[in-house]
Amino acid sequence: MIELLRRVLRSPQGALGLVLVGLILLVVVLGPWIAPYDPESLAPLQRYKPPSALFWLGTDQYGRDILSRLLHGARATVVMAVFATALGTLAGAVIGTISAFLGGRSDEAIMRTVDAVMAIPSLLLALLIVNLLGKSSWNALLAIAIAFTPGMARVTRSVALAVRKQDYVNAAIARGESARFIVWREMLPNVVAPIIVEMTIRVAFAVMLFATLSFLGLGAQPPASEWGLMVAEARRFMHLSPWMILWPSLAVAFVAIGFNLLGDGLRDALNPRT
Amino acid sequence: MTPILDIAGYCLDYATPAGFTRALDAVTLGVAKGEVLGLVGESGSGKTSLAWAIMRHLPESAREAGRIRLIDKELTTTSEAEIEAIRGRRIGMVFQDPSTSLNPTLPLGEQLAEVLEHHRGLTRKQAWAEGEAMLARVGLKVPREMMRRYPHEASGGEKQRVVIATAFACQPECIIFDEPTTALDVITARQILDLFGELQAETGVASLYISHDLALVSRVANRVAVIHRGRIVEQGKVEEVFASPQDDYTQKLLAAVPRPDHRLVDDAGPGSEAKALVEVDKVSVRYGRKPFLAKLLGRENTQFTGNRDISLSVREGEILGIVGESGSGKSTLARALTGLNPFEGEIRFAGRPISGLKDMDRAYRRDVQIIFQHPDSSLNPRQRIREILSRPLALYGTVEQRKDANAIGALLEQVRLPAAYAERYPHQLSGGEKQRVAIARAFASRPKLVICDEITSALDVSVQASVVELLVDLQKRFGTAYLFITHDLNLVRQIAHRIAVMYRGDLVDLVDVAELSGGQVHAYTRSLIEAVPAPAAPASELPRI
């Protein structure tokens, strides 16, 4: 693990990604404590303030401190995105590995179904699911997880097909192991590395997808300080105070870039040949 | 006589994160005109590093000292541009695997003609004509056609002939052969060796012949150098080195070479009256799915046949060797017996008929175990040795074994590994140790039949000897029957009671080991025996270790 970290740090994008993601996690954990104000306290006299010594990033249409809202919102935004990606990845990895293990007609059937789901753009699919299930953060999370599953299943299957040919899988079959044991204990641990890389990159997509859903009013609901929702609300007051829309957008971009770079670094670190 | 290739005090280090590791240590050797110097060493001994050092194709992390001279030219200080004119022109190289050393997207003739155009300044037309002549000279029957073929349209032996033709094309002063026959089947290898001998005598080129195979080197080389961990431990005339090796390592290496006359098991074996443990009755294996559409349209079945009507039996406590070249269906049979391939026909195990995967129940799985060729791929890299070995115990072990905390250690000690290895991961073990773990896993369920699928072919000769010795030992202790699959005829003649010979999916011979050399055997078996190089010296002349 330490060796892996050292190798991530060796490449510039990996090191930068690690620093950015580290900062983000710090904000996620400590955000509510270091926020200077209550994110929901209204101050009618302090509306649309530009950044100043008092309000570092300015205030919004109700006079709420934007920095405090961002720090509080980090939890909702980042944790939800990571959680949704993890869920989608797990489901996709299991489906992909099972498909590769079974092979033949079952593989064909599973993968064609996955292809069919993949043909629907992930945002549309997420919209569809949220509309069916009702608006809430948890449903948005589920929608993103489902939207990510087919892609992850494809990635996993391609890796798992190579693992399937390895003799330790043959040995397990010849030993009479159950299919569940072979998929869980023999195959899945060996497809983990490329999946983790894919997952880190997808976290960035999840953040943006989440923000998009909230922006469309289908994810987090006011007065939550989810970043996508903040952008959506700020849109109406753009001409009054451009800061209001700038900061949460930058925060989303920051997370996306951080996880993307980390994913790049991890890919190089886990595969010494590239 | 002044040597063509003269290496003196050559040292090579590779930079690694942990500092420099020495690959070659004060290597001094020379190859004269018309001479073949055999360089023998096990994997990791630095023999290929030396080849690349002579070819001046080293990674950036290399640091070198000493000198390499080609007649009057000092190669270590020559500029890259000059080296390019020397490579291929004055020093040729023949690689191990012709299927990877030829570009799959270019016709063979193109690759041969390019060398001639580049180094001898021939026009395209001249180069093609010359190339055709070269191909005819290396014994290819249809050179004109061969020039236009792509690598995948030629067999392994034909490709290696093209590579050799390319190496000899510019009449170089020195050619490096890096295990040129290792990737080929024995009979093809034999033909390539004969070709090498002819061309060598005809051109008088100075040859450096790199190999891990002592028996082979004793046939092709005039002089031999033994390399061990980057150091030349012994050098001299072939007859002298092989008859009276001075260095400990050479002695060990020579003693490890399998010799058919040096039997490792009781000659008698279980007699023909012994009960048959496994009977394979007309088993056929076909690869590829039955194409649904083709069946509907009534087209011919295009499936590939792996085994055709194989019938044989393994007696209790017997070692049955199966030999054949790659693609002869040896492993296919092993996979059918362990339920990894569907098959047609019937297998009877201890009298119980088994006609398909469904019939392979727990008892059968426990009694029939398989050990694979590559321990790297047969041990899960993400599991500790403890977990790897605990699985057969969990599935088939006794209750005491499952509860006994030392059961894993006992399994490891049974294959002569320290019990502390249980906490290691496979990558922390050497190749031989990994294969021992695989053996321990196979023996954990106390099977009646163990199928060994080329289990020593990925190992060095000295490691192979100790693994084979271990297997024989286990066989004596437990009375287990083996199906010992290998392409190494000398090895199988050492340990098997009976030998089955397979050729292109058919079983062509099944004879007692004693009858193999003299008795009535199939023509293919005879050519196989003739093709196998005889070991360098009889075992009796070797000092016992």
CB contact under 8 A, B441 and A171: yes
pLDDT for the residue A98? 93
Task: Specify the higher pLDDT residue, A173 or B16.
Answer: A173
* Stated pTM of the model: 0.81
Distance CA A105, CA A110 (A): 9
Q: Which residues of A fall within a CB distance of 8 Å from B340?
A: 170, 173-174
Q: In Å, what is the CA distance from B187 to each residue of B213, B506, B508? A: 16, 17, 16
Helix (H) or strand (E) holding B503: strand B498-503
- From the list B335, B382, B395, the residue facing A176 with the nearest CB is B395
**Pairing between strand B481-486 and B319-323?**
parallel
Q: Which residues of A fall within a CB distance of 8 Å from B342?
A: none
- Given a contact cutoff of 8 angstroms between Cβ atoms, the answer to whether B223 and B35 are in contact is yes
B228-271 tens-digit pLDDT: 988 999 999 988 888 888 899 988 888 888 887 777 877 666 66
pLDDT tens by residue, chain A, 274 residues: 677 778 778 888 888 988 998 988 888 888 788 877 777 777 777 777 777 777 777 777 777 888 888 888 888 888 888 899 999 999 999 999 999 999 888 999 999 999 998 898 888 888 888 888 888 878 888 988 999 999 999 999 999 999 998 899 999 988 888 889 999 888 988 888 888 888 888 887 888 788 788 878 887 777 777 888 888 888 888 888 888 888 888 888 888 888 888 888 887 777 654 4
Task: Give the residue from B290, B331, B377 with the most A CB atoms within 10 Å of its CB, the best one to mutate.
Answer: B377
Q: Judged by CB atoms within 8 Å, which residues 88-107 of A form the interface with B?
A: 104
- From the list B339, B366, B374, the residue facing A167 with the nearest CB is B374
Task: Give the residue from B341, B382, B443 with the most A CB atoms within 10 Å of its CB, the best one to mutate.
Answer: B382
Distance CA A195, CA A94 (A): 11
Q: Stretch B204-208: mean pLDDT, rounded?
A: 92
Instruction: Using alpha carbons, select from B289, B295, B57, B218 the residue that is nearest to residue A103.
Output: B289
Question: What are the tokens at A216?
Answer: 């469309």
pLDDT for the residue B541? 45
A32-A38-A39 Cα angle (round to 5): 80
Expressed in percent and rounded to 5, the helix, strand and coil fractions of chain A are 75, 0, 20
The β-bridge partners of B29 are: B7
- Given a contact cutoff of 8 angstroms between Cβ atoms, the answer to whether B343 and B520 are in contact is no
Instruction: Using alpha carbons, select from B227, B208, B204 the residue that is nearest to residue B37.
Output: B208
Q: In Å, what is the CA distance from B498 to each residue of B260, B268, B313, B517? A: 13, 10, 10, 13
B342-374 tens-digit pLDDT: 888 889 988 888 888 888 888 899 999 999 988
DSSP state of A185: I
**Pairing between strand B206-211 and B276-287?**
unpaired
The β-bridge partners of B187 are: none
pLDDT for the residue B545? 36
Find all residues with CB under 8 Å of B279, minimum gap 6, and list them: B312, B313, B347, B348
B69-81 tens-digit pLDDT: 988 888 888 888 8
Q: Can you give the three-state secondary structure of A1-12, one letter per residue?
A: CHHHHHHHHHCH
Question: What are the tokens at B27?
Answer: 């290597």
Question: What are the tokens at B197?
Answer: 């001998």
Instruction: Using alpha carbons, select from B98, B226, B213 the residue that is nearest to residue B488.
Output: B213
pLDDT for the residue B1? 61
Percent of the residues in chain B that have a pLDDT greater than 70, as a whole number: 93
Instruction: Using alpha carbons, select from B121, B120, B145 the residue that is nearest to residue B135.
Output: B145
Integer-rounded Cα radius of gyration of chain A: 22
Distance CA A42, CA A22 (A): 31
Q: In Å, what is the CA distance from B107 to each residue of B124, B143, B180, B344, B423? A: 14, 13, 21, 40, 52
Question: What are the tokens at B362?
Answer: 């727990």
Task: Specify the higher pLDDT residue, A47 or B212.
Answer: B212
pLDDT for the residue B543? 41
CB contact under 8 A, B372 and A177: no
- From the list B289, B338, B377, the residue facing A174 with the nearest CB is B338
Instruction: Using alpha carbons, select from A4, A13, A28 the residue that is nearest to residue A207.
Output: A28
Distance CA A152, CA A95 (A): 9
- Give the DSSP per-residue string, B143-210: HHHHHH--GGGS-HHHHHHHHHHHHHHT--SEEEEESTTTTS-HHHHHHHHHHHHHHHHHH--EEEEE
- Given a contact cutoff of 8 angstroms between Cβ atoms, the answer to whether B492 and B486 are in contact is yes
- From the list B335, B365, B374, the residue facing A175 with the nearest CB is B365
Give B471's pLDDT tier (boundaries 50, 70, 90): very high
Question: What are the tokens at A104?
Answer: 């033949």
CB contact under 8 A, A174 and B339: yes
Burial label, B478 (beta-carbon count in 10 A; 0-12, 13-18, 19+): middle
HSE on the CB side for B382, CA within 13 Å? 13
Find all residues with CB under 8 Å of B244, minimum gap 6, and list them: none
Sheet of B304-315, strand order: B304-315, B276-287, B344-349, B352-354
Nearest CA in chain B to A162: B377
CB contact under 8 A, A185 and B383: yes
Sign, CA torsion A182/A187/A189/A195: negative
Q: In Å, what is the CA distance from A168 to each residue of B340, B358, B404? A: 12, 22, 25
Nearest CA in chain B to A181: B391
- Given a contact cutoff of 8 angstroms between Cβ atoms, the answer to whether B264 and B468 are in contact is yes
Distance CA B330, CA A99 (A): 29
Q: Which residues of B fall within a CB distance of 8 Å from A185?
A: 383
Q: Can you give the three-state secondary structure of B19-59, one letter per residue?
A: EEEEEEEEEEEEECCCCEEEEECCCCCCHHHHHHHHCCCCC
CB contact under 8 A, B372 and A171: yes
Q: What is the mean pLDDT of chain B?
A: 86
Burial label, B113 (beta-carbon count in 10 A; 0-12, 13-18, 19+): buried
DSSP state of A241: -
By residue count, chain A amounts to 274
Strand segments, DSSP code E, in B316-376 are 319-323, 344-349, 352-354, 368-371
Q: Hey, what amino acid is at B400?
A: E
**Pairing between strand B498-503 and B5-16?**
unpaired
- Tell how far CA A205 is from the center of its chain: 6
B461-B462-B463 Cα angle (round to 5): 90
Q: Which residues of A fall within a CB distance of 8 Å from B366?
A: 176
Buried b (16+ CB within 10 A) or exposed e, B509-542: bbbebeebeeeebbebbeebbebbbebbbeeeeb
Burial label, B544 (beta-carbon count in 10 A; 0-12, 13-18, 19+): exposed
B280-309 tens-digit pLDDT: 888 888 876 666 666 666 666 666 778 888
CB contact under 8 A, B340 and A173: yes
Question: What are the tokens at B144?
Answer: 């004109």
CB contact under 8 A, B382 and A190: yes
